[in-house]
Structure 1
């Protein structure tokens, strides 16, 4: 493995192609025999540090249409948190279901699950029929895995009945030294970014792009007011940038003064610190507080000059969904891609049907949307929101911190990269965007 790293650092693609691939590699795993370890505990009490392991696992051989990648860096997403606490169900059920579909898919049904839905790295090997990528290519990967044997997926690949999220519903994910992906998941690595910066954007930037910009989402337009929950987090930080780029006005909801300041550094002017202003949308476990919905709506209008949100960028779920439906303007859109605070949403339908609002569900992005989102990163129009990068050995602690919302932006993981700050191939272009690239940093950025 060290020889591979040295060849990558030297920028020698031919040397990378000539090196043997190790039989085993290290990855962050779950174990199938531990899925009951948290029974009886509430979600907040489940500790990812107990369920996540750093193991040596066997290297898979790329089959037709697949590539094996040396992972220099990866990132942590909420699906890693869900996987680690076995919610909403153990991911081994996904692997078993996938394994029954074909002999090629059967390789994923293992007693361990290598997690991770982001990566930046270098192609090591390619399977039969792969022509767009070759060993030595520096790449990132999006997390959409599809089979496309059914007509439903050919208009929008997210509608394919065999659509899955790589590293969550499939095995051999990116929180590892090696990863196996379909060749159509691979995209060019932005040349001005480090490995850890390039790995940070794949899942969340693509998700936010579909949710806000795409015709499959909210169709955001110039002049829209966009209420963004968790605007300094992994998803929200990209939504804020997309809103600003698209001529919309983000109304950023955050939970601390530090996170509010990060939003202002991105260029957002309208920020609500929900903790400082004491919003409590639930009186108790079963009763929402309509007065708090109204108070939030009044605060938004105070900031916008009397206008309600055209779009509400929803992902917290249960805790905020009732408020989201209430505050959206007449004819407005609530677009939801997750439920990090709970999957059972409750809202007053009078404010939906009588005010002609729409709820749209979105999930990750199709290949075209992911490519366009990555293109914005490559062109320096959207920047990674990496706050820190930890070694692979510290992944479980970083997942624990995300579970308890102790992070901001994206947390990166150094897999094969020996230290932060490596992988920049276009320092001149980077210099034009250095301040924006580093605005989420909670630790000093390494010298390039």
Structure 2
């Protein structure tokens, strides 16, 4: 479909489409959920443009695991790794959830037949991301999930607002807050790339809520203003200040790393960065390693600008820095992240909502970075604003809930 095209020119609107397919058979430990709303993540973009791999290969491998997983190996892929909705039906062995429960779902799918996953379920050898490495995801009217993906829907949010945080909120929590990630503490200087984006907007909120000092890197005055509205004070507009970390495709520019580090110290009162919240990858990784303080931590959860990272290892080993790989979150981390949403400590960053049939356009917006925060999708919900159960709590937080909608 996209043979010979550069990544930027591959259009999700050509590959994503709406169709009617059979509802999957319900298995033990599973639930069917009526999806009221979902949202688009960057993995939806990767799926739609078949990069770095076609996800049909994931479905084929998962289908070989058991008779039950064979249902996932189909010539179509129902994608989507977020949902807010209502439990329709549960399979054998499900005791914690019943039809009618209003829920959100996190996207960790695990089998847990190996001992490896019982200290941290993210280490299960059969760990997968639902709606990306499995079928029957959340960008649909009905989704199939494991019951241990379900969490209570925050009652002060609409369906589309509740569907937006799941993947990115949980990912940011593990990467920045959890002991499995950076273990952020009060007073830490945290460098956050893309601080107004889908991931970065939650990292910024976690840093502020946890008493840390976020140093927010953005690419426009508009995005800088979003960070200020969240409460951040240290902000770098990398385009306005003209940072170019690569001289050409193969050569980085250490002088730019030093200029960037000097700018950071101007904003922190002379201190270096304790934690880098990394996800752009190749374009920024060399600078991230350089500006981190001695003994500091670089946590990485993605590589949206390229997977082959290059950095000067002298600045890592001689300064005893650490690089930590972080991927989504385990059930407990996702539950804690969702609990903070439910308590009004962390807020959705929803900026725009599309209808289900326009999911291709929503993914295009994310692919071309035309969005702020998260882009939502209405599935069975006929319009925005439905599903609110606690209007009083909502009223207390309405400005924060609408922060990204008002941009």
TM-score normalised by L of structure 1:
0.90
- Aligned match of 2:36: 72
- Aligned match of 1:150: 114
- Aligned match of 1:375: 339
1:70–1:122 CA contact under 8 A, matched in 2: yes
1:317–1:339 CA contact under 8 A, matched in 2: yes
- Aligned match of 2:285: 321
In 1, Cα distance between equivalents of 2:276 and 2:110 = 29
Alignment of 1:389 with 2:353, yes or no, is yes
Q: Residues 92-241 of structure 1: matches in 2 within 5 Å?
A: 92-241=56-205
2:317 to 353, 362, 381: 353
In 2, Cα distance between equivalents of 1:279 and 1:392 = 38
In 2, Cα distance between equivalents of 1:72 and 1:380 = 21
Which sections of structure 2, spanning at least 5 residues, go unmatched?
Answer: none
Q: Offset at 1:61?
A: 2.1
1:288 to 252, 268, 275: 252
In 2, Cα distance between equivalents of 1:106 and 1:391 = 30
- Aligned match of 1:415: 379
In 2, Cα distance between equivalents of 1:294 and 1:86 = 37
Higher relative contact order (CA 8 A, sep 6+): 2
In 2, Cα distance between equivalents of 1:42 and 1:442 = 34
1:61–1:68 CA contact under 8 A, matched in 2: no
The residue matched to 2:68 in structure 1 has which SS? Answer: helix
Alignment of 1:62 with 2:26, yes or no, is yes
The residue matched to 2:256 in structure 1 has which SS? Answer: helix
Q: Offset at 1:398?
A: 1.3
Q: Offset at 1:328?
A: 0.5
Which sections of structure 1, spanning at least 5 residues, go unmatched?
Answer: 1-36, 444-448
Q: Offset at 1:442?
A: 4.7
1:330 to 294, 301, 318: 294
1:388–1:442 CA contact under 8 A, matched in 2: no
In 2, Cα distance between equivalents of 1:171 and 1:256 = 37
2:79–2:138 CA contact under 8 A, matched in 1: yes
In 2, Cα distance between equivalents of 1:55 and 1:334 = 42
- Aligned match of 1:43: 7
The residue matched to 2:170 in structure 1 has which SS? Answer: helix
CA RMSD in angstroms, aligned pairs only: 0.7
- Aligned match of 1:13: none
Alignment of 1:279 with 2:218, yes or no, is no
Q: Offset at 1:116?
A: 0.1
In 2, Cα distance between equivalents of 1:387 and 1:357 = 36
- Aligned match of 2:390: 426
In 2, Cα distance between equivalents of 1:394 and 1:293 = 41
Q: Offset at 1:401?
A: 1.2
The residue matched to 2:77 in structure 1 has which SS? Answer: strand
Alignment of 1:402 with 2:366, yes or no, is yes
- Aligned match of 1:12: none
TM-score normalised by L of structure 2:
0.99
In 2, Cα distance between equivalents of 1:344 and 1:360 = 16
In 1, Cα distance between equivalents of 2:160 and 2:219 = 26
In 2, Cα distance between equivalents of 1:274 and 1:74 = 31
In 2, Cα distance between equivalents of 1:53 and 1:275 = 35
Q: Offset at 1:38?
A: 1.2
2:17–2:357 CA contact under 8 A, matched in 1: no
Q: Give the length in aligned residue pairs.
A: 407
